Structure 1
Amino acid sequence: MERASGILMPVFSLPGPGGIGGFGRAAREFVDFLAQSDQRYWQLLPLTTTGYGDSPYQSFSAHAGNPNLIDLEDLVCRGWLEEGELAAAELGDDPCRIDYGAVFHGRRALLERVLPRFAARPPEGLDGFARRNESWLAPYCQFMVAKEEFGLRPFWEWPEEFRRPGSAVRALCDGRRERHLYHQMTQYLFFTQWQGLKRHANERGVRVIGDIPIYVSRDSAEMWSAPELFMTDETGAPTLVAGTPPDQFSATGQYWGNPIYDWERMREDGYSWWVERLRSSLELYDLVRIDHFRGFESYWGVPFGVASSAAGSWRRDPRMALFERVRQELGELPIIAEDLGFLTPEVLALRDATGYPGMKILQFGFDGRNDSYYLPHHYASNTVAYVGTHDNMTARGWERDAASAEQLAQARRYLHQAPGEPLSAAMNRGIAASVSDTCIYSMQDLLDLDNEARINVPSTLGGNWSWRMREGALTRELEERLLELTRTYCRVPGAGDPPLLQ
């Protein structure tokens, strides 16, 4: 079985002009760095639109792409934007942090300038794109036109006649044709640019791992246009929402607020919504990581509107029936199961029954005293190993800000940390040397960055999703170190049998 490795790096964290990472030159240079350092995978965070808290896990649509990632320099090359307009745009002053307010207003102003030029000579592929994606694109455009009409407020605060698709929304869109075309245009630009970037990666032997949040946002085109897919009351409000139970980190648990699917209704129509979601995701990516996989076995359901997630209870999900249906419709799929959190024998049995590889997080392995399920001597080949995920501290941050003396002593002893070797490098070596068929390094740990580069602190708002890599960080010295790590632990692509995630 071939062993391979890759890097977790959000697109928004790439360097370059535009206020936020995107699909332009820096993305292609990153792909080239992956190929030159013998990395087989580029793992992403969700590419969907961002909503509440700028989180890619709280999107206005399960399908629509994030217009902030559109490469503006490409629009200049195509004659839809002028160089002076781009140069004069205010998109944020700090090249290492995303200013989402500046990005939101600055990019919207630029794309509004593109719109009449795009409309004057629309590309030949626009109509075909709209037809192929009509099932999600039409409701998304209607939803966004109405949302902007009503000051970006959540849809349940709109006038009553607009809270569901119908004649009022259609009339509004007819009267706001330019705004409707704007959202169609940005989706066309997003998807055509992304497919070009993905093709660039695939031609260089790099495969893309996408990310699907298990739930959708309450304020989303799906919840607005198809509330029957969710547990809702007669007004369309959710009756049950997602969260986590109280644990050692929180006496009240986490109240996520995402609507829970009506799994019984989905079962009756053969889980068609999930089949189509996975089908479209695997047109966008080569592999897909499903976030919060344990929620397919059972979930913590919280009555909507209660003060604390502690009021919730465990409820059963579709379990294997969903994945059997997906297999019937789509065949065997290259899926990674994010099997973290409170795991029961039933959750593990579901993961094993699907055959999907689970995840191992080295940072969870050190408590300073005891053996752990997350230490590499317990790993199996059918797993993907990480030092940490986007929700973890960086390795250097964990070392400096969180780990006790006992934890650090255990980690250094277990990993045989060499004199002068950064702990982040020793941890990367630990997952590279493991028996997991795939290991994924975070870009921050390869650069030995502290918690200023942390992507997300769960259950907090503000300051998340904003780290950007510095220009010039991808040095020849880093490439050589990564090559040595990859070759030492026999993770070179193309050597031996196809990998499990082929």
Structure 2
Amino acid sequence: MKIHFFIKYDTEFGQDLRLNILADNESVSTSYGMNTADGKTWQCDIELDKHPVLINYFYSLDNSGRELRHEWQTISHRLEFNATSAKEYTVYNRWTDIPCDSYLYSSAFTDCVNRRHHEDIPATKYKKVLRLIVRAPQLRKGERLYVTGKSNSLGCWHANRALKMYEHNYNEWIVDIDAETFKEKETELKFIAVNDKGAVLWETGYNREIQIPDINDGEVCVYEMDQAFFEICNTKLAGTLVPIFSLRSKDSFGVGDFGDLKLMIDWVAETEQKVLQVLPINDTTSTHTWTDSYPYSCISIFALHPQYADLRQLPKVKDKKKATEMETLRKELNALSRIDYERVNNAKTEYLRIIFNQEGEKILKSSDFKNFLKDNEHWLVPYAQYCHLRDTFGNTDFSSWKGHERWHEQDRGILLNPKSKEFDDVSFYYYVQFVLDSQMRSAHEYAMARGVILKGDIPIGVNRNGCDVWHEPQYFNLNSQAGAPPDDFSINGQNWGFPTYNWQRMIEDGCKWWIRRFQNISKYFDAYRIDHVLGFFRIWAIPTTCVHGLLGQFAPSLAMTREEIEGYGLHFQEHLFTTPFIARWVVNRVFGPHADEVTEKYLSHEHDDIFSLKPEYDTERKIEAAFKGKDSADDIWIRDGLYALAADVLFVRDNNDRNKFHPRITAQLNFMYEALMDSDKEKFNRLYNDYYYRRNNNFWYSEAMKKLPVLVQATRMLVCAEDLGMVPDCVAWVMNELRILSLELQQMPKDPCVRFGELWKNPYRSVCTLSTHDMPTLRQWWDEDYDRTQDYYHSQLYRSGGAPHPLPGWLAKEIIVNQLKCPSMLCILSLQDWFAIDEKLRLADADAERINIPANPRHYWRYRMHVNIEELIANKEYNDNIKDLIKIR
């Protein structure tokens, strides 16, 4: 089979185009160099020994063997070999970059919202074939594409004689026409969309004109055409955010599970919403205590949390006494207003072990289990051994696991051998993940069938003592901690404790670790939120000696030399500016009546009225250790004061080059800054603003573009990002270029010149919301700051008089209507904010609805719905109310 490929692409001297054929696993199987006579039209002729059903391929641009760029790979070119008489194919392609409407190619739209069933292309017996290929992403559910035109072969502009096209790839349609029926050398045509009721929608714009080429017997001539365009409004969807652990049904086991997720999908569909967003669902079991309730500290980027197992989908416990005990415990735990994390997880683990002992032998021999193990063994085998060792040694400090300080690849074989003791040790963990995977896949398939987009969450970090670090330590830097600089959530910054990534190592192997992570989550979701997308540009790296985040620095970033600092006119006094500034007046102001005690016990006198922290208290971690178990108000006062002293520097030394420096974040709140002369303050402010808002922009753009393009194209999930915080300009450049949806909160505007965001300015490619899981709910926010609420009441709701407190349901509804009417593609509100519109339904205590408090690193994640999902589904009055609101969307 001979194939002739042609594509137009303007190149510069030294640049070459390549044709890349994809294997079944989407990797490049064969790459061909192309030829050109003018640097504009490129050609490649190949001959296939075998006769495949189809090939997928893409084009790339090279210079001296180095790839400069390639086409959008989420949807590649596809060529079917269905012409029975064909001996050769001549293909005219068009270069495809990421389209502005790339979201319409996501599985969120193709598999959920605009769900259509693809048909096999019928075999073509024509001697000469003219094939037309066109993309039509705007078509909705129940619509299909036809082509009609001027010539008799195309139906003479009659819609009822138009040629039916076949969707052979996502949003891409194809038709084979008998070329011998064309009597003319050129013709005109248009594409039309026909829905399942027979309604016809014609493509807009001028008629398309095509030349009918000379086609030989046994030849298929393929024309890839410009995208079809129809006057169809942009789709806007509404949805709900709720953690799975927060779900409550009549029969759940004290925590939401994957069975409850199906019920919640029913409620979302019942209210005509289209999106259900959840928090991370990965296993976080580290200590077997409530501190593991933090869902963003996963021990495995692949493993699902055992707490989400729906025990109702498992076989019954045969021991009747034990079954009765478990049912009694289930009812007790399910009646609690909040999650008892430890009791729930202990009970579920016990139940799973009982069922494993009953049914495990049969399950492990099943073909479904064997296929699961084969498909997931890369991560599952190390994970299972990690869990076994964690429970054997009683901790996750794998540096203390004698003989198992890190994963040994040679252990894989024996851990997969069903006849070995080692297999017996870990098989329970295989089984649990098999159960979780099958249940979550089932929920995902259920959501797609109901037209609901399940949206997941990909945390930016991993637990530093987790399986991922133990298994593949080359990808992590354990000498620093990831976090976030100070923001509205935390004035001292956030220290998540996660290791930072060794991005250089990750980039060297094509970001395989991240690609596997994204592809794994695509088994369960059709959209996802990238938690803290800023981390792909730069992460806030904090020394391991720190508790808070004030002494962090962006990594990577362009640190400043002494000469650069002095170029701003600021005389750089290295020792003074990089060590804590502790003057007598500072101690008096910070510690008040405790000043003398602090001076004597914790400080050393240097000279004049200047002090330093004693060596045993000169880092935040040392201070933390010294005050462990001391919870009196005076002890906390002194501890926090010492934290403030330890962070009171003007510059932080660079982690990689001790001769370079970073201005300390929010240094203007420091005592060192206060001690500067006014002229030096002005110089420092100019330096500070240049550093944080201008100096690194292009550098961070290039860093993000080394990582994000390959990741967002690794799956067809709809990509959304949490882009809040200290956002440099380059973030918007990258997100726009890669078509990533931004997050828009009216209460946290990205424009520093306004107090509240202007909803009508929200970009279409965005997610709007009123609150996230890290924020107060709408009702809490309303009562937090009366002056701010009054301003919002006047300037955003255009109402006079005093704002009512607490927030009445009718006013919550008005606020939500404004969100629903804004241009954002997705409006996803927390379940608590949806509840706010109904004073009969919502909780009386608004504070009981809070999910997380970021300023508290030891927050207990235990919020649960106060009503059963079954009751929610049956509440017709409330559900009709939501449906009426969503019609506004």
**TM-score interval (norm. to shorter):** 0.7 to 0.9
318, 323, 338: which one aligns with 2:708 = 323
Partner of 1:144 in structure 2? 387
* Cα distance per residue 1:386-438 (max 9 Å; x no partner): 011111111111123x1223423423651357996444323221210111111
459, 465, 468: which one aligns with 2:855 = 459
| Secondary structure, aligned partner of 1:388 | coil
The Cα shift of 1:295 comes to: 1.1
The question of whether the paired residues in 1 share the 8 Å contact of 2:304 and 2:433 is answered with: yes
Partner of 1:432 in structure 2? 820
Confirm whether residue 395 of structure 1 aligns to residue 778 of structure 2. yes
* Cα distance per residue 1:252-274 (max 9 Å; x no partner): 32211111111111111111111
365, 375, 398: which one aligns with 1:156 = 398
The question of whether the paired residues in 2 share the 8 Å contact of 1:98 and 1:468 is answered with: no
- In structure 2, distance between residues paired with 1:372 and 1:380: 18
Instruction: Give me the identity figure in percent.
Output: 26
Confirm whether residue 200 of structure 1 aligns to residue 446 of structure 2. yes
Partner of 2:31 in structure 1? none
Partner of 2:254 in structure 1? 19
The question of whether the paired residues in 2 share the 8 Å contact of 1:287 and 1:335 is answered with: yes
* Cα distance per residue 1:364-387 (max 9 Å; x no partner): 3599x9734633133111111001
- In structure 2, distance between residues paired with 1:435 and 1:457: 30
Q: Please list every run of 5 or more consecutive structure 1 residues that lacks an aligned counterpart in the other structure.
A: 232-237, 490-502
Amino acid at match of 2:258: F
392, 411, 432: which one aligns with 1:186 = 432
* Cα distance per residue 1:326-374 (max 9 Å; x no partner): 366x36652101111111112222222221010011333599x973463
- In structure 2, distance between residues paired with 1:46 and 1:181: 25
Amino acid at match of 1:288: Y
Amino acid at match of 2:240: I
| Greater Cα radius of gyration, structure 1 or 2 | 2
Using CA pairs under 8 Å that are at least 6 residues apart, name the structure with larger relative contact order, 1 or 2. Answer: 1
| Secondary structure, aligned partner of 2:550 | helix
Question: Relative to structure 1, is the Cα distance of residues 28 and 331 closer, same or farther in structure 2, using a 3 angstrom cutoff?
Answer: closer
Question: Relative to structure 1, is the Cα distance of residues 141 and 411 closer, same or farther in structure 2, using a 3 angstrom cutoff?
Answer: farther
The question of whether the paired residues in 2 share the 8 Å contact of 1:195 and 1:284 is answered with: yes
Partner of 1:216 in structure 2? 462
Confirm whether residue 381 of structure 1 aligns to residue 764 of structure 2. yes
447, 452, 462: which one aligns with 2:835 = 447
The question of whether the paired residues in 2 share the 8 Å contact of 1:240 and 1:303 is answered with: yes
Of 298-307 and 96-105, the range deviating more from structure 2: 298-307
The question of whether the paired residues in 2 share the 8 Å contact of 1:5 and 1:438 is answered with: yes
The Cα shift of 1:445 comes to: 0.9
Question: Relative to structure 1, is the Cα distance of residues 308 and 457 closer, same or farther in structure 2, using a 3 angstrom cutoff?
Answer: closer
The Cα shift of 1:86 comes to: 3.2
The Cα shift of 1:199 comes to: 1.3
Partner of 2:351 in structure 1? 110
The Cα shift of 1:157 comes to: 5.1
- In structure 2, distance between residues paired with 1:357 and 1:261: 24
| Secondary structure, aligned partner of 1:455 | coil
* Cα distance per residue 1:288-344 (max 9 Å; x no partner): 11100011112211122334422211123631121233366x366521011111111
Counterparts of 1:474-485 in structure 2, within 5 Å, are 474=873, 475-485=875-885
> Which structure shows the bigger proportion of residues in helix conformation?
1
The Cα shift of 1:114 comes to: 0.8
Confirm whether residue 353 of structure 1 aligns to residue 734 of structure 2. no
723, 747, 754: which one aligns with 1:371 = 754
The question of whether the paired residues in 1 share the 8 Å contact of 2:293 and 2:860 is answered with: no
The Cα shift of 1:284 comes to: 1.7
Q: Please list every run of 5 or more consecutive structure 2 residues that lacks an aligned counterpart in the other structure.
A: 1-233, 286-290, 557-699, 837-841
The question of whether the paired residues in 1 share the 8 Å contact of 2:390 and 2:396 is answered with: yes
Of 280-289 and 305-314, the range deviating more from structure 2: 305-314
Partner of 2:369 in structure 1? 126
* Cα distance per residue 1:136-163 (max 9 Å; x no partner): 1111101100000011x12335334221
The Cα shift of 1:282 comes to: 1.3
Counterparts of 1:246-257 in structure 2, within 5 Å, are 246-247=486-487, 250-257=490-497
The question of whether the paired residues in 1 share the 8 Å contact of 2:338 and 2:862 is answered with: no
The question of whether the paired residues in 1 share the 8 Å contact of 2:482 and 2:539 is answered with: yes
Partner of 1:10 in structure 2? 243
The Cα shift of 1:241 comes to: 1.7
- In structure 2, distance between residues paired with 1:408 and 1:96: 33
The question of whether the paired residues in 2 share the 8 Å contact of 1:391 and 1:458 is answered with: yes
Amino acid at match of 1:242: A
The question of whether the paired residues in 1 share the 8 Å contact of 2:490 and 2:855 is answered with: no
* Cα distance per residue 1:220-261 (max 9 Å; x no partner): 111011110112xxxxxx112201224566553221111111
Of 388-397 and 162-171, the range deviating more from structure 2: 162-171
Of 282-291 and 90-99, the range deviating more from structure 2: 90-99
| Secondary structure, aligned partner of 2:706 | helix
Partner of 1:500 in structure 2? none
The Cα shift of 1:78 comes to: 9.5
- In structure 2, distance between residues paired with 1:278 and 1:319: 17
The question of whether the paired residues in 2 share the 8 Å contact of 1:14 and 1:469 is answered with: no
| Secondary structure, aligned partner of 1:49 | coil
Question: Relative to structure 1, is the Cα distance of residues 298 and 167 closer, same or farther in structure 2, using a 3 angstrom cutoff?
Answer: closer
Question: Relative to structure 1, is the Cα distance of residues 305 and 161 closer, same or farther in structure 2, using a 3 angstrom cutoff?
Answer: farther
Of 54-63 and 407-416, the range deviating more from structure 2: 407-416
* Cα distance per residue 1:200-222 (max 9 Å; x no partner): 11111111001100111112111
| Secondary structure, aligned partner of 1:309 | coil
TM-score where L is the length of structure 2: 0.51
- In structure 2, distance between residues paired with 1:293 and 1:10: 20
Amino acid at match of 1:311: L
- In structure 1, distance between residues paired with 2:775 and 2:515: 31
- In structure 1, distance between residues paired with 2:313 and 2:464: 34
The question of whether the paired residues in 1 share the 8 Å contact of 2:526 and 2:716 is answered with: no
Partner of 2:337 in structure 1? 96
Amino acid at match of 2:270: Q
The question of whether the paired residues in 2 share the 8 Å contact of 1:5 and 1:440 is answered with: yes
The Cα shift of 1:85 comes to: 4.9
| Secondary structure, aligned partner of 1:288 | strand
Amino acid at match of 1:482: I
Of 450-459 and 205-214, the range deviating more from structure 2: 450-459
Of 473-482 and 303-312, the range deviating more from structure 2: 303-312
Question: Relative to structure 1, is the Cα distance of residues 248 and 71 closer, same or farther in structure 2, using a 3 angstrom cutoff?
Answer: closer
Question: Relative to structure 1, is the Cα distance of residues 247 and 384 closer, same or farther in structure 2, using a 3 angstrom cutoff?
Answer: closer
The question of whether the paired residues in 2 share the 8 Å contact of 1:294 and 1:343 is answered with: yes
- In structure 2, distance between residues paired with 1:248 and 1:432: 25
- In structure 2, distance between residues paired with 1:470 and 1:484: 22
The question of whether the paired residues in 2 share the 8 Å contact of 1:21 and 1:468 is answered with: no
Tell me the C-alpha RMSD between the 2 structures.
2.8
Partner of 2:302 in structure 1? 63
Confirm whether residue 410 of structure 1 aligns to residue 782 of structure 2. no
Confirm whether residue 306 of structure 1 aligns to residue 516 of structure 2. no
The question of whether the paired residues in 2 share the 8 Å contact of 1:395 and 1:423 is answered with: no
| Secondary structure, aligned partner of 1:125 | helix
- In structure 1, distance between residues paired with 2:709 and 2:749: 33
TM-score where L is the length of structure 1: 0.88
- In structure 2, distance between residues paired with 1:406 and 1:327: 38
The Cα shift of 1:462 comes to: 3.7
The Cα shift of 1:94 comes to: 4.0
Partner of 2:888 in structure 1? 488
